[in-house]
Amino acid sequence: MINNTDAVRLLDRKRKGAIIVPTMNAGNVRFGLPSVTTNEKLDLPLSGAMGKASSLGLGIALAQPQRKVMVLDGDGSLLMNLGSLVTIANKGPKNLYHFVFDNGAYCVTGGQPVPGADKDDWAGMAKSAGFPATFFFDNIEDLTTGIDEVLQTEGPVFVHLKVAPEIENTPVQFRQRGRRTVQQAFKDVATAVAGR
Amino acid sequence: MATEHYESVLHPPAIVAELKKNKVSHVVWLPDSETNFMYQLLNSEPTMDLVPVCREGETMAIAAGLWVGGKKPVVLIQNTGIFESGDSIRGLGLDINQPLVMLVGYRGWSRHGLTTDSAARFIEHILHAWGINYYLIETDEDAPRITLAMEEAQRTQKPVAVLVGTEFGA
């Protein structure tokens, strides 16, 4: 099992100018990408919107084909938007890397189990949807040694990460909020990549 | 007393001409019963990339990514898809101030009798509830309203809908 913060820290260190779209645990202000990022202007954290991080990432990847886009998805999130695997594979963006942080739980709502946890085969689903390359890691050592190969593989690439859940029970209105508003995050990325 | 009948015909080239005039880069879409002729034309249009999706809620999110990446997408779906897309319109349309034009097939609507289809009866109420302005197009002569919608979306930095109130002619 991989620690959530260790995973986002490693992916951030390997980003080399990639845009990162994290959601749920991977985008958490206290222990997700915002807590370790080295390039906030290229981070586009997405909360809510019912599992659309993969779709948002696809749009960016199509608009910016010369730049890598890393989506840090949740398992519960992707279950809400499973069709996006087919949508992504159909368009086939070579610069899209879709990581799923599989922690088996709806962590932001108190840790209820995700349907199919420990039964579903994420990499198998992605492969069946048409992803040309899939990877699986369940410990930080293998991820550390394997991440370069992942990011050198032509996309779209799907990466299943078995991650320890970080469960939040604090009511939403009392949780720590991000330093930037969502509008500011979109402005920052648009300015950085499209000069707007 | 004889009733005068006006045939409303909207041809895909009129729509595509408007999209090209506005330099639309991508059409993110899921087909509805009214768009087959449109699909054939868009598929052969070199200046725009079609992005087909599996479910309508993906369209606003993909469009948001294209927009933040410097492109100019539109969404083309049916009114039933708007209902399905509620949280995407909220989170990735309204909340992020995306100037997105959504072309929406107005399934079930008719100005020539009762509108019994709930998809048609509810759609304008839903758009009102979200504060999303909309335009209705039924003929080629109405097509320039797409430009009005594009201009309004840019000016207000908000989603704007264009309801396609008739089937596309061949």
B79-91 residue pLDDT tens = 999 999 999 999 9
Instruction: Name the average pLDDT for chain A.
Output: 94
Render pLDDT for A59-112 as a digit per residue (tens, 0 to 9).
999 999 999 999 999 999 999 999 999 999 999 999 999 999 999 989 888 889
Q: What's A61's domain CATH number? A: 3.40.50.970
Tokens of B110: 């008719």
Provide the number of structural domains found in chain A.
1
Whether B63 shows a pLDDT value over 90: the answer reads yes
- Residues of A whose CB is below 8 A from B58: 52, 55, 81, 83-84, 87
Specify the 3-state DSSP secondary structure of B119.
helix
Q: How confident is the model at residue B6 (pLDDT cuts 50, 70, 90)?
A: low
Could you please report the per-residue DSSP string of B15-31? Answer: HHHHHHHTT--EEEE--
B54, B136, B40: which is closest to A78 by C-alpha?
B54
- pTM, full prediction: 0.95
Residues forming beta bridges with residue A75, ordered by sequence position:
none
| Domain boundaries along the sequence of chain B | 12-164
User: Hey, what CATH class is B12-164 in?
Assistant: alpha beta
**Which pLDDT band holds residue B32 (cuts at 50, 70, 90)?**
confident
Which are the contacts of B110, defined by CB distance < 8 A and separation ≥ 6? none
Is residue A34 within 8 A of residue B41, CB to CB? The reply is no
Chain B positions in Cβ-Cβ contact with residue A46 (cut-off 8 Å): 91
A48 pLDDT exceeds 80? Answer: no
What pLDDT shows up at residue A69? 98
- Interface check A171 vs B, CB under 8 A: no
Quick check: B62 contacting A, CB < 8 Å? Answer: yes
Structural domain span for residue A107 = 4-194
Residue B4 pLDDT greater than 70, yes or no? no
pLDDT in tens, A162-187: 999 888 888 878 888 888 999 999 99
